[in-house]
Amino acid sequence: MLNPPGVAKAARILAERRRSGVQAERLPEDCRPADLESALAIQTEVTRELDANIGGWKCLQPPPDRLVVAPIYREDIHRGAPVSVWAPEGHARIEPELAFVLGRDLPARPEPYTREEVDDAIAHTHLVLELIHSRYSDPASADFPEMLADGLLNQGLFVGPEVDPDMAEEANELTIALNTRSAAPEVHQGRHPNTQPRAPLYWLVNFLREKGEGVKAGEFVITGSFAGVLEAPLEEPVRVLFGDLGELSVSFKARVQS
């Protein structure tokens, strides 16, 4: 477990990169997390360092020896276009996902939440795009705990229209189509990484419960991309079709580094 000064140092570095948009090398060895517990401690400290409000979560049912969970900050959740994104490659990087929005709190408690209780708490289901960006200049060189500490590439969320919750619950496969003015349509035969789109939500609720935390009313929970990471152009209309569920429209512009 990384010591408290190391956690604080890593959080300061990652928080500053989030503010400025600057990508840089891996964390210094004296504050580089080597385990999941240290990575989660850095996540928490980054939130404090930014004085940010949690508006949602990204998650997957974790594979062995990993945790796939990170906060999404309320200030980074967008509903209107154009959406300003860090785009050092010259395009927006996006993941087409579903978001489940709770209508009531599911706070910490001794006993686990059942699927029925979680289902009953869902108020809305939306088409969304996770906005992707790393604070590392070469994320492929970073170990998984370093990626977890940095929020697993999240830089925010674009919220599209609400969709039928029953159709969304069964949407383990979706044809994802990306339509832009400057390129031919891009079509992917998408599949949810955990098969059932709500499965990671059930996991998250009880993971946070065990930590003495919880999921709050109004928070967006995204549970995995149907098509991996897609590249969308800047400064032009973008349409993303989610099979029979519907579609969303958006545009992106590059944020300017400070």
Per-residue pLDDT tens for 115-166? Answer: 999 999 999 999 999 999 999 999 999 999 999 999 999 999 999 999 999 9
The predicted pLDDT at position 258 comes to 67
Per-residue pLDDT tens for 231-249? Answer: 999 999 999 999 999 999 9
pTM listed for this prediction = 0.95
> 159 near 128, Cβ under 8 Å?
yes
- Whether residue 3 is contained in a domain is answered as no
- Whether residue 26 is contained in a domain is answered as no
Percentage of the chain exceeding pLDDT 90: 97
- Whether residue 235 is contained in a domain is answered as yes
Q: Where do the DSSP E strands lie in the chain? A: 54-59, 69-73, 77-78, 83-85, 92-102, 122-132, 154-162, 173-180, 186-191, 220-222, 230-232, 238-242, 246-250, 252-254
In this model, does residue 1 exceed pLDDT 80?
yes
- Whether residue 11 is contained in a domain is answered as no
- Which helix (H) or strand (E) segment holds residue 40: the answer is helix 36-50
- Whether residue 76 is contained in a domain is answered as yes
The tally of domains found in the chain comes to 1
- Whether residue 29 is contained in a domain is answered as no
In this model, does residue 180 exceed pLDDT 70?
yes
- Whether residue 12 is contained in a domain is answered as no
CATH code, domain carrying 114: 3.90.850.10
Percentage of the chain exceeding pLDDT 70: 100
- Whether residue 208 is contained in a domain is answered as yes
Residues 6+ apart with CB under 8 A from 9: 28, 30, 31
Per-residue pLDDT tens for 181-224? Answer: 998 999 999 999 999 999 999 999 999 999 999 999 999 999 99
Residue whose pair of structure tokens reads 């946070």 in the numeric block: 208
Domain that holds residue 202: 53-254
